[in-house]
Structure 1
Amino acid sequence: MKRENPYTPGVAGPPPVLAGRDEELQQFDELSNRLAEGRHIHQETILYGPRGNGKTTLLHKVTEKLETSPQIKPVFVQAPIIGTPDRLHRKLLGESPPSQQMETTRVRGNLGPLGTSVGGALETSEMTETTPEDREERCIAAMNDKPVLLMIDEAQRITGETLAAILSLTDAARRGKTKFAVIFSGTPGLPEHLKRQDATYLERAQSIRMERLDEESTRTALFQPFEEAGYKNRLNASDESRLIEQTQRYPHFIQCLLCDLGCS
């Protein structure tokens, strides 16, 4: 009977083994623990590197680990989807998309022909909506109760307006008003994109560049999933080296190559 392919077919499927990212996971574990305990942290972290190096998978792993934690709330979003400060605040608060509370038009008195007023008055409709400042204050209060680690993928596409709203929250956290940290994740141009937004706070951000895997991590990513699925590795050392060289130690290439091998 043909065994199931341990690799996820298709583009951007999560790998079965997150190899070679122990250092980054440890850094984010430390960040999460210190945030939960109210200790000093870098409020902003910039994670960047070429596409296909596993940044999104890494953030999903961090999110997965924190989802069972009673001490901290992970929030994973993509910059193009979050769009505006309003959507950002609502995401942090766990609210549904914007809706306006509308007070229906009320009529006092009697209406004459064609709607003319006879001894009465027409009250106009009232539309009430919370302001950005109100929503920010609610976020600050909520994060005091349960700290939030916000992870923004594709952050090279974040708008200046939304970035300003995020940095307003990290500034509040820095001044001890709330418990909040953010990880910006994106392509190699991310640091420059953020600099162009005149965000001076980000000069103090922690920067992490994700490179390709080393040889040993590539070997783990290549062979461990197949061995766990019950396949035998019949390659000699020379064949293994050639296969590692073929992947260029690039996680996306490993994924594509072994998906093809597993399906064949």
Structure 2
Amino acid sequence: MDPIRNPYAPGAGQRPPELAGRDRELDQFDVVLERIAKNRPERSLVLTGLRGVGKTVLLNALRSQAIGRLWGTGKIEARPDQTLRRPVAAALHMALRELAPRHRDPERIEYVLSVVKAFALRDAPTKNAPRWQPGIDVPAARGRADSGDIEIDLTELFTDAASVGSDLGVGIALFVDEMQDVPPADLSALCAACHELSQTGAPLIIVGAGLPHLPMLLSSSKSYSERLFRYHRIDRLDRHSADHALTAPAARENVNFTPDALDALYDAADGYPYFIQAYGKVTWDTAPATPITAEDVKVAAPDAEAELAVGFFGSRYERATPAEREYMRAMALLGDGPVATAEVATSLGRRPSSLSPARDSLIKKGLVYAAERGSVAFTVPHFGHFLRSQPA
């Protein structure tokens, strides 16, 4: 069939043509936005799940909802080697620019921007990263959000930024992708600032997305974080939603699937949104005509698997050192679910302590996560199957 009309879109964070199976999260976020606008108490949100389940896509969809309600929004992608000062300052600068044209007091906006600038300028310069100059054309405030203590400064910054949203009867939403990579001290400060704002009812919320162990990291940083956030586990799609993700965009192009084709595609993609888009795209290009059949899926599957092996699995595998690959291969041979670190050590004939550097590095690279105490699991679905298919 015509590849130009192919509706499927496998890409990192790229919105699929049909955002299937996420109505519950979208509807609940609408309630959150409405309640906060009416000065009702609400918690910030955290989305967790494996890679490829659509966390970033959903995060962007939630941001679009906030923009549609005229909120100020900003988004950051956390990095393990970067403090929050620069990205948070840039995100709040963007949010304030969205709200400024509707605010009646330009001096009020300028003051809050001066606080944002003061907060940003407390970022300590390094040899590889000289002092950052934010593009804010006002003098930096003095005595506000500039103490150097990230917890104090973040609380003061959020309080002042939220007041602008309050003036307009809306709020500010800060979206944080890869939230598990926020440095521990900054994650603790973020929780403390959210806690303070929740007590005062200030209209600013955090919407974070991260790997499955993010709730554990938040709980370790502040014990009250379990009550501070509303957690949503984002998982693979059920059969109905997976079929809808394929059939709805195809129907708009007057293309159909046979029931057997949908069976084969669900077996191949296992309900994971990224895989659904990947198999759907290659199958469309392979099929000669509508309806798409199970035979078309069978012919297309090797090409889809080859693309995933290079772009989805292989790119991550190449980031690992030989010692890290040995560790992951041992994990894969023990099974697809969480495995005990002691079992990994036993299978390699090593002491657990000698493998700690490889495990910790894999966690830092986002290839595995600590599923629970004493066990690890892959952050990427089907990664164990991919590793077992590779030559030793």
Q: Provide TM-score, normalisation by structure 1.
A: 0.77
Partner residue, 2:176: 152
Partner residue, 2:82: 83
| Aligned-residue offset at 1:21 | 0.4
**Equivalent position SS for 1:47:** strand
Tell me, which stretches of 5 or more residues in structure 2 are unaligned? 94-115, 122-131, 135-141, 166-170, 287-392
Partner residue, 2:92: 93
- Separation of aligned partners in 2, 1:160 and 1:219: 40
2:46 and 2:231 in contact (8 A); partners too = yes
State the Cα deviation string for residues 217-244 of structure 1 (Å, max 9, x = none).
011101111211x2321x3323322222
Match of residue 209, structure 1, among 214, 220, 233: 233
After alignment, is 88-97 or 200-209 more displaced?
88-97
Per residue, is there more helix in 1 or in 2?
2
- Separation of aligned partners in 1, 2:92 and 2:216: 30
Partner residue, 1:51: 51
After superposition, the Cα gap between the structure-2 partners of 1:249 and 1:152, relative to the gap in structure 1 and judged at 3 Å, is same
Aligned residue type for 2:40: R
- Separation of aligned partners in 1, 2:202 and 2:188: 17
Match of residue 190, structure 1, among 189, 192, 214: 214
After alignment, is 157-166 or 219-228 more displaced?
157-166
State the Cα deviation string for residues 9-63 of structure 1 (Å, max 9, x = none).
5454321111000001111111122122220112x32211111111110011111
- Separation of aligned partners in 2, 1:10 and 1:41: 33
Q: Does 1:257 align with 2:258?
A: no
Tell me how many residue pairs correspond in the alignment: 233
Partner residue, 1:29: 30
Partner residue, 1:17: 18
Larger Rg: 1
Partner residue, 1:165: 189
After superposition, the Cα gap between the structure-2 partners of 1:63 and 1:10, relative to the gap in structure 1 and judged at 3 Å, is closer
- Separation of aligned partners in 2, 1:135 and 1:31: 22
Counting only pairs closer than 5 Å after superposition, residues 107-146 of structure 1 correspond to structure 2 as 130-132=146-148, 133=152, 136-146=155-165
- Separation of aligned partners in 1, 2:264 and 2:153: 59
Partner residue, 2:308: none
Percent identical: 29
- Separation of aligned partners in 1, 2:154 and 2:47: 27
State the Cα deviation string for residues 53-108 of structure 1 (Å, max 9, x = none).
111100111112222332x222221111893242254135306864569xxxxxxx
Aligned residue type for 1:207: Y
- Separation of aligned partners in 2, 1:164 and 1:10: 32
Aligned residue type for 1:79: A
After superposition, the Cα gap between the structure-2 partners of 1:256 and 1:11, relative to the gap in structure 1 and judged at 3 Å, is farther
Partner residue, 2:255: 232
Partner residue, 2:223: 200
If asked which structure has higher relative contact order (CA below 8 Å, sep 6+), I would say: 1
1:143 and 1:179 in contact (8 A); partners too = yes
Aligned residue type for 1:140: T
2:215 and 2:226 in contact (8 A); partners too = no
After alignment, is 147-156 or 17-26 more displaced?
147-156
- Separation of aligned partners in 2, 1:21 and 1:82: 32
Q: CA RMSD in A?
A: 2.7
1:89 and 1:139 in contact (8 A); partners too = no
After superposition, the Cα gap between the structure-2 partners of 1:143 and 1:92, relative to the gap in structure 1 and judged at 3 Å, is farther
- Separation of aligned partners in 1, 2:84 and 2:245: 39
Per residue, is there more strand in 1 or in 2?
1
Q: Provide TM-score, normalisation by structure 2.
A: 0.54
1:92 and 1:139 in contact (8 A); partners too = no
| Aligned-residue offset at 1:135 | 6.5
